[in-house]
Amino acid sequence: MPASIKEEIEKYRQGWRDLCEGQGEISFYSLYIQAWNVSNSFGPVFKQAHRITGRGTLRRNSGNVQKVEHLLNKQYPSFVPLFWGTSYDYIFEPNLRKFNKYSFLGDDEDILFFNEYMDLRGMSMFPPWIEGLSDLGGCFKFGQYKWVDTLERLEYLEAKVTRGAYKRKIKKFKQEMDDPFDDYYPKYEGSFVSSSICVCDEKSAVKRDLSEIIKYLKANPGYHKMARGAGSILKRIENNTFTIESMEETYCAPR
């Protein structure tokens, strides 16, 4: 590990000591920023890890993969507070679940952001409207996921928080909600448009949920891909040119 990363980690660790002991001007939010500075400094570590594991090549070293996984998932989090890691996609970053647990050390905005964000998004590999069934994806939770409730709570949260890092996290989640619908609307003549969707349960819930989404977005614009994608799906359902598949009937998720 390069000396520059060790210095960044020690600065972060000292910040936690100061906060817990009530020393200096350190804040919970500034530690969150420092945590991402530590995470972003790990590029050289990941580059070395990729080299010794041989991932993505015919010379993959499974023993070294296990060693890297132990470092990122066990050893490093043991002395870098509130972090988690995995050798899968080379991740070493702040554990938002733990930041939420200790948000009482911050102020009202810290508590609000982490409580709401973790309830709305969490840390799952897949967004909360997808039930992950493989590394490649899963089924849409129409009829189970509260789309409009989430949109309303996101708008409320975005209006309440003032700090840049929190606003960027909310913006990223809003984009994550918007993007999946982009495949269901033709962006130009002849462009690819998905003609089917895989749902986890009730087929009829697709039309019901999309109608509620469109009604909400008419009064609260901003999710352009979601609005036009939902509208396109509804129109094609009515024209019998769109297929809704259900996991209750057949395995329809990517695999």
Asked which of 106, 124, 145 is the last residue of a domain, the reply is 106
Closest alpha carbon to 76 in 27, 3, 5, 165:
5
Residue range 239-245: mean pLDDT, rounded: 92
Q: Looking at the domain assignment, is residue 32 inside a domain?
A: yes
Answer whether residue 152 shows pLDDT above 60.
yes
Asked whether residue 48 carries a pLDDT value surpassing 50, the answer given is yes
% of the chain residues with pLDDT over 70: 93
Q: Which residues contact 207 (CB under 8 A, 6 or more apart)?
A: 234, 237
Mutual angle of helices 224-238 and 164-178, in 10-degree steps? 20
Domain for residue 185, yes or no? yes
Q: What is the structure's pLDDT at 191?
A: 72
With respect to residue 253, please indicate whether it lies within any of the assigned structural domains: no
pLDDT band at 60 (very low <50, low <70, confident <90, very high): low
Residue among 118, 121, 108 nearest 161 (CA): 108
On whether residue 137 sits in a domain, the answer given is yes
Helix (H, G, I), strand (E, B) or coil at 132: strand
Q: Does the structure show a pLDDT above 70 at 254? A: yes
Report the pLDDT value the prediction gives residue 193, as an integer from 0 to 100: 85
Best CA proximity match to 121, nearest among 89, 90, 145: 145
Q: Is residue 39 part of a domain?
A: yes
Return the pLDDT at 58.
Answer: 41
Mean pLDDT of the chain: 88
- Which of 55, 78, 106 is where one domain is finished? 106
State whether 119 and 217 are in the same domain.
Answer: yes
> Do 122 and 241 fall into the same domain?
yes
Domain shared by 102 and 145, yes or no: no
Residue range 162-208, pLDDT digits in tens? 999 999 999 999 999 988 888 888 776 767 788 999 999 889 999 99
> Which domain range does residue 43 map to?
3-106
Segment holding 146, helix H or strand E = none
Same domain, 96 and 138: no
DSSP secondary structure letter of residue 84: E
Residues 6+ away with beta carbon under 8 Å from 65: 53, 55, 87
In the prediction, which pLDDT does 52 show?
A: 62
Do 57 and 140 lie in one domain? The reply is no
Q: Is the pTM of this model over 0.75?
A: yes
**CA-to-CA distance for 195 and 182, rounded, in angstroms?**
12
For residue 145, the 8-state DSSP code is S
Whether residue 93 is found in the same domain as residue 12: yes
Q: Which of 106, 135, 153 is the endpoint of a domain?
A: 106
pLDDT at 62 (0 to 100)? 62
Q: What is the DSSP letter of 57?
A: S
User: CA 150, 207, 175: angle at the middle one, nearest 5?
Assistant: 35
* Judgement on whether residues 120 and 242 belong to the same structural domain of the protein: yes
Q: Do 153 and 96 fall into the same domain? A: no
- How far is CA 25 from each of CA 21, 28, 37, 244, rounded to the nearest angstrom? 11, 10, 18, 56
**Rounded to the nearest 5 degrees, what angle is found at the Cα of 50, between the Cα atoms of 44 and 53?**
135
Residues 159 and 92 in one domain: no
If we measure between CA atoms, which residue out of 149, 146, 155 comes closest to residue 174?
155
Which residue would you say has higher pLDDT here, 61 or 66?
A: 66
Q: Flag whether 27 is in a domain.
A: yes
Question: Looking at residue 54, what is its pLDDT?
Answer: 55
Count of structural domains within the chain: 2
